[in-house]
Amino acid sequence: MLDKLNGKVLSLTGNPIMGFDKQALTVKDALVTLCEVHKPKQSGNGEALRIFSIGLKLVAASESLDLDEKEIQLLRKVVEDNEVFVSVVTARLMNYIEEYAKES
């Protein structure tokens, strides 16, 4: 289960990273953003719809979310391929997903 979705994404110094709205960036906000802007390298295979579905689940989630292994793999790919966030945010999100994968 992805839990602590409302947890803050922290900088290398441990301070919350601020979003464009001057609010602390949460794990949920970052993952939703990446689902919204991800452009699959290959079209016609349904990947965009699966990412859209994960994004909708994240939006609807309050503090935690159950995803199956295929969804986790796709979310991991979305984070790894992102061109939105700087490396520290990407690394924090990858660590978050890896911790979830260990617990599942």
> Which tens digits make up the pLDDT trace of 64-102?
999 999 999 999 999 999 989 989 999 999 999 998 877
When pLDDT is cut at 50, 70 and 90, the band that residue 104 belongs to is low
What is the tally of structural domains in the chain? 1
Contact 78, 38 (CB under 8 A): yes
Mean pLDDT of 48-56: 95
Helices 27-37 and 47-60: angle between axes, nearest 10 degrees: 150
Mean pLDDT of 18-44: 90
Domain of residue 7: give its range: 2-103
Checking if the pLDDT of 37 tops 90, the result is yes
Contact 34, 82 (CB under 8 A): yes
pTM of structure: 0.91
The mean pLDDT of the chain is: 92
User: In sequence order, what are the residues at sequence separation of 6 or more whose Cβ sits closer than 8 angstroms to the Cβ of residue 98?
Assistant: none
